[in-house]
Structure 1
Amino acid sequence: MKIRAAVTATQGQPFDLKDVELASPKGDEILVRVVATGVCHTDAAARDLGIAPYPIVLGHEGAGVVEQIGDNVRDMEVGDHVVLSFAHCGHCSHCLTGHPTVCERGGELNFGGVMDDGSKRLSCDGHDVATFFGQSSFATYAVVSERNAVKVDSDVDLALLGPLGCGIQTGAGTILNRLKPGFGDSLVVFGCGAVGLSAVMAAKIAGCKNIIAVDLHESRLELAQELGATHSVNSKTEDLVGEIKRITDGGSEFSLETTGVPMLVRSSLQVLRPLGTSAIVGLTHDVTLDVHHDLMAEGKSMIGVIEGDAVPRVFIPRLVGYYKEGRFPFDKLIQMYDFDDIEQAFADSKSGLTVKPVLRISSLSSAPAPPGLNRKAPVRH
């Protein structure tokens, strides 16, 4: 079937909105009409840094409506509202023990450009086009494994929900699934983008006493306090570590580093009290540490966390529940853009003008079926 998609032809090239051919879903796959999809820094990295093959259709925070299902699909039905998350095999020891974020095939399935069986579903001008995160949601339609899809309540605005599949899941999940602060603990969040602000909201749910937001932009620090931060510190502060230790009376139990800035990565350790833990979720390169003073001498820990160590089918519905209760107002992070304005959305994300851009791809109301699409579910015997 013909769909419209944003194609990245080569490294660093602008998005090209064009007609692309999408193959039908196979056994355990579903066809999703994409209603909206979030713009994430990982998409920018894939476009600019060559971490995935080209040509490729990016996008990995999709949300939409199931329009067709494969013969072996068991958990989805036509008409279901779904959020699309990261790809994972579902069979390795990590997947089977509740840690699909570190799936043994995770690199291949999310960044290798292929589906489970090693094939591709997209083509353009007679050439194969790579898939991203098993979904490629910068498109009007996506074919995904049902494992990638999370059924969500139909009474919530579907256009808002795509970022739950990656960025928001990463921030909130790192707090609630991995760090698990206790009532009265302190947390320092370095970086108030979508990931950091999601962590702020999660820390409030967890009952943290001090939730300290660190960022360069005063507007984001103000938003952090609106969302639950008890204190905000501009990272330009001359004695950043000293100020945070003053607020926490000697140091925080936990910190979350989202920026990837080497100086702040080190600071995320230095603000901790003895036995504290720093979680690193930002794309980070070489960092110089004084391992003795920054880490070992006070028994501190530094851990890496991917996708909030979440099981999406369990965690994302919980976040939707918190949202419906008014306890997780992630909609305050989101700014909607038309699909045609994808370049502007990326520019506004890079500049910090928009915390979480979301591309509106189609309306929620039923759209006419593209030629050749039979929406009926297959007959099961």
Structure 2
Amino acid sequence: MMKIRAAVARFTHGPLSLETLEIGEPQADEILVRVVATGVCHTDIVVRDGMLPTPLPVVLGHEGAGIVERVGSAVTKVVPGDHVVMTFDSCGGCPSCQDHAPSYCHEFFPRNFFATRTDGSTALAKEGEVIHSHFFGQSSFASHAICHERNIVKVPKDVSLELLGPLACGVQTGAGAVINALKVGVGKSFAVFGSGSVGLSAIMAAKAIGATTVIAVDMNDERLAFAQEVGATHTLNPKNINTAAAIMEITGHGLDYALDTTGLGPVIKGAVLSLAPRGTCGVLGASAPGSEIVLDEVHFMSGGRRLIGIVEGEADPDTFIPTLIRLYQQGRFPFDKMVKFYPMERINDAIADSESGITIKPIVRMESGSQ
């Protein structure tokens, strides 16, 4: 058993504790990665706070980037020394996975939230105490993580590895919603409701693919200013204006595409009311289990409008993450502008700054000066 350093969630709503743990050898289909850096995502916070049935104690983290150290005997996708990003896990065999739609894997929930291998075992322990691992197939709030071929993506070595972790979830979710799910086209109008890291990633993607009207809606004026810096053509603060009326004035007929990142029923209803006939609104999450969406049925039906759920940007990570990297290298997808780095010792500060909105996208470095 190898000794590693990890941030352990032991108590609901409590701070993570930095601890020395033991990690087992990778199994035949597993990969041991030395984690260089990991993004902090809203989902980590939701799970820490007990809103999903992930068992404690657990090592969270699901936007890991690092270097392959060891591979199991059945692994052929990567070799030691490869630079990689770890993303969400999937089974590879269900109808969705066979259709290259792994974000809708029939086993998505257990493989990503149950924090064990499929046989119920874990890779982590502390002096005989079971510590749950394999959160999103990785548990990357740690110096080392074990993942699978299905959720590892090889990335080029000529781009800063410590920057790439957020492409695994938050950035992929926002950009993929625009490019893969909504398929926003050149010259179309698009609005995102909620300008956090996911919403801002969507704005960057909309600009990159040629949407000509890109509207950011948020109650934080600083976020709106930043949205304009990275691609929004218009910004709206619902505290100061009737959003639906303003969108109609900007577009003339309503939106071709809208994206909600808040999970709030009233906001989603407003986004749908802002759609033009045949417009589509995507929804990325729910505020709580059992949340409901109420729509104006006549408005929704009579205009042929559509409402769709979206998970992980409907991405096939093996192809989509390298695409985002190329767009970044070309200067067309500047997601690096919204990140701030923290040392592992300050992981709780990174989480708190994400919750408060001080930092748009925190990235935790496992070691100072890691590249």
What does 1:183-332 correspond to in 2, within 5 Å? 183-285=186-288, 286-332=291-337
1:176-202 CA deviation, whole Å, 9 max, x = no partner? 111111211100111111100110011
Q: Show the counterpart of 2:31.
A: 30
Find the aligned partners of 1:145 and 1:185 in 2 and give their Cα distance. Answer: 39
Find the aligned partners of 2:164 and 2:119 in 1 and give their Cα distance. Answer: 28
Q: Are the equivalent residues in 1 in contact too, given 2:268–2:293 (CA < 8 A)?
A: no
Q: Are the equivalent residues in 2 in contact too, given 1:7–1:57 (CA < 8 A)?
A: yes
What does 1:1-381 correspond to in 2, within 5 Å? 1-51=2-52, 52-131=54-133, 132-285=135-288, 286-362=291-367
1:182-223 CA deviation, whole Å, 9 max, x = no partner? 211100111111100110011012211100001111111111
Counterpart residue identity of residue 18, structure 1: E
Find the aligned partners of 1:365 and 1:301 in 2 and give their Cα distance. Answer: 45
Tell me by how many angstroms 1:288 deviates: 4.9
Counterpart residue identity of residue 244, structure 2: V
Tell me by how many angstroms 1:238 deviates: 3.3
Tell me by how many angstroms 1:363 deviates: 5.3
Tell me by how many angstroms 1:268 deviates: 1.1
Counterpart residue identity of residue 227, structure 2: A
Q: Show the counterpart of 1:377.
A: none
Find the aligned partners of 2:132 and 2:197 in 1 and give their Cα distance. Answer: 27
Counterpart residue identity of residue 290, structure 1: L
Find the aligned partners of 1:50 and 1:235 in 2 and give their Cα distance. Answer: 28
Q: Are the equivalent residues in 2 in contact too, given 1:265–1:287 (CA < 8 A)?
A: no
Tell me by how many angstroms 1:283 deviates: 2.9
Runs of 4+ aligned structure 1 residues displaced above 4 Å come to 363-366
Corresponding residue SS for 1:110:
helix
Find the aligned partners of 1:288 and 1:165 in 2 and give their Cα distance. Answer: 28
Find the aligned partners of 1:13 and 1:115 in 2 and give their Cα distance. Answer: 25
Which region of structure 1 is more displaced relative to structure 2, 25-34 or 121-130? Answer: 121-130
Which region of structure 1 is more displaced relative to structure 2, 356-365 or 159-168? Answer: 356-365
Counterpart residue identity of residue 49, structure 1: G
Q: Are the equivalent residues in 2 in contact too, given 1:181–1:208 (CA < 8 A)?
A: yes
Q: Indicate how the Cα distance of structure 1 residues 205 and 42 shifts in structure 2: closer, same or farther if over 3 A, else same.
A: same
Q: Are the equivalent residues in 2 in contact too, given 1:120–1:129 (CA < 8 A)?
A: yes
Corresponding residue SS for 2:362:
strand
Tell me by how many angstroms 1:362 deviates: 2.3
1:14-58 CA deviation, whole Å, 9 max, x = no partner? 101101111110112111000000000000000002411111100
Unpaired segments ≥5 residues, structure 1: 367-381
Counterpart residue identity of residue 253, structure 2: G
RMSD, aligned CA:
1.4
Q: Are the equivalent residues in 2 in contact too, given 1:37–1:159 (CA < 8 A)?
A: yes
Tell me by how many angstroms 1:296 deviates: 1.8
1:207-251 CA deviation, whole Å, 9 max, x = no partner? 111000011111111111111111111121331110011101120
Counterpart residue identity of residue 45, structure 1: V
Q: Are the equivalent residues in 2 in contact too, given 1:266–1:294 (CA < 8 A)?
A: no
Q: Are the equivalent residues in 1 in contact too, given 2:23–2:125 (CA < 8 A)?
A: yes
Q: Are the equivalent residues in 1 in contact too, given 2:162–2:370 (CA < 8 A)?
A: no
Q: Are the equivalent residues in 2 in contact too, given 1:35–1:364 (CA < 8 A)?
A: no
Corresponding residue SS for 1:174:
helix
Corresponding residue SS for 1:243:
helix
Counterpart residue identity of residue 277, structure 1: T
Corresponding residue SS for 2:81:
coil
Which region of structure 1 is more displaced relative to structure 2, 307-316 or 279-288? Answer: 279-288
Tell me by how many angstroms 1:263 deviates: 2.1
Find the aligned partners of 1:288 and 1:178 in 2 and give their Cα distance. Answer: 20
Corresponding residue SS for 1:18:
strand
Which region of structure 1 is more displaced relative to structure 2, 44-53 or 313-322? Answer: 44-53
Find the aligned partners of 2:66 and 2:261 in 1 and give their Cα distance. Answer: 28
Counterpart residue identity of residue 102, structure 2: P
Unpaired segments ≥5 residues, structure 2: none
> Kindly, what percent of the aligned residue pairs are identical?
48
1:98-146 CA deviation, whole Å, 9 max, x = no partner? 1100111111110011124432111123121112111000000001112
Q: Indicate how the Cα distance of structure 1 residues 232 and 365 shifts in structure 2: closer, same or farther if over 3 A, else same.
A: closer
Find the aligned partners of 1:223 and 1:142 in 2 and give their Cα distance. Answer: 34
